[in-house]
Amino acid sequence: MELKPRLQRMGAGLTFEALRLFFPLAALHAALWPLLWVLLLGYTLPSAAGMPAALWHGKEMIYGAFGAALIGFVLSAMPEWTGTARLSGRALWALASAWLLARLIGLWGAEALLPLAAALDALLYGGLAAYASWLAWRRPVARLWAFAGWLWAFAAVALGLRFAFWHDDVALASAALHAAVLVFLALMALSLARILPAVLNLVLDPTQASTPFRPHPGRRNLAAGLVAVALAAHLLGLSNAVQAFLLLGAGAAFLDRIGDTFIGWRFFRPEVLVLAGAAALAGLGLILMGLGRLGSGAAALAGLHVTVMGGLGLAVIGVLAVAGRLHTGQSVQLPPSAAAAALLLVAATALRAAPALGMDAAWAYAAASVLWAASFLLWLTGYLPAMADPARRAHDKCG
């Protein structure tokens, strides 16, 4: 096949629905941005001056790599849940272009372009929240409004971060980044509440003739609710002790979700373990962050990376792997490459948290960035051919 028709065919496949374009973009950004920052840029950014490069790095991981995965998930899943048409074609290319321009600003640390970056964030994440609100209005279900509300919070925190960066306010930027992590954790909890029952029922009955699994109603929104309380305490500036115990409670709620995933020996299937593991690492990370608020600096540092890299990172890999299979007409059973990607990500998380326990930081950070990149690139090489194939036009539901 000639190059131009082949590229046109790939483009048609990637823009059939949002996740087929934004999941590969999320994987590329997650793999290459930290690798560049750690191994080539030496923890610096070419144009960053007033704001520490580490805050740029944290912001780009949440709103860059994880943000792309969120865009792909919401624009594919919410129309599926509401029975409405998906965005496709040129609209997705336009959104991807806006996302890419914002990421280039972040890669360079271009402080002079922060107003443009703020406008792009408002377009991407404010537009995503508005879209979710419109769908929730068309089908007024409380769970959909919960998604929309958290998406508005995600967009608002993005603008708060840009404001702090523009004014070189390190304290405000650090507080806003902490808020962004909590908001994304809540979105993760709501997503798992929708995805896990669908996955567990497919594992238990691949024919979909029955739904043998029913989630415990008390567990469905407990984690997101307790994260909301912890976020409120953080925004109100309550004492470290109060915030600590609220973080411990939110962490326990994430750990409690694992009880819903135990379905006998099938619990050990990769597609179940990766989602249960995301909840486990998010819970462990929040507990460590809570201990950090009680005075353990080592726990605070380790907890942040266990939460973001382990909990959120494994959740992103899990959603990329599961939804990537179901939305390309394949079974829910994950291939060995996806399972290996999840294991590499867990290993990267352990290495990144290890310096808090006394391991040599330079060696551990470099190794963690390599394993992290390998995880997302392994997913990408295994899934991109199906994502870019326009003949694979399945609409299997993920929740």
Alpha-carbon torsion, ordered 327, 18, 336, 66, to 10 deg: -140
Q: For residue range 126-162, what is the model confidence (pLDDT) as tens digits? A: 999 999 999 999 887 778 899 999 999 999 999 999 9
Answer whether residue 398 is part of any domain.
no
DSSP result, 267-324 = GGSHHHHHHHHHHHHHHHHHHHHHHHHTT-HHHHHHHHHIIIIIIIHHHHHHHHHHHH
Q: Is the pLDDT of residue 399 over 90?
A: no
Give the tokens for residue 372: 């992290």
Answer whether residue 393 is part of any domain.
no
Query: What residue numbers bound the domain in which 90 lies?
Result: 9-387
Answer whether residue 126 is part of any domain.
yes
Answer whether residue 4 is part of any domain.
no
Q: How far is CA 326 from the centre of its chain?
A: 18
Q: For residue range 273-306, what is the model confidence (pLDDT) as tens digits? A: 999 999 999 999 999 999 999 988 778 888 999 9
Answer whether residue 319 is part of any domain.
yes
Answer whether residue 322 is part of any domain.
yes
Question: How many structural domains compose the chain?
Answer: 1
Answer whether residue 133 is part of any domain.
yes
| pTM for the whole structure | 0.94
Q: Which of 73, 87, 281, 25 minimizes the C-alpha distance to 194?
A: 73
Give the model's pLDDT for residue 364: 82
CATH of the domain at 27: 1.20.210.10
Answer whether residue 131 is part of any domain.
yes
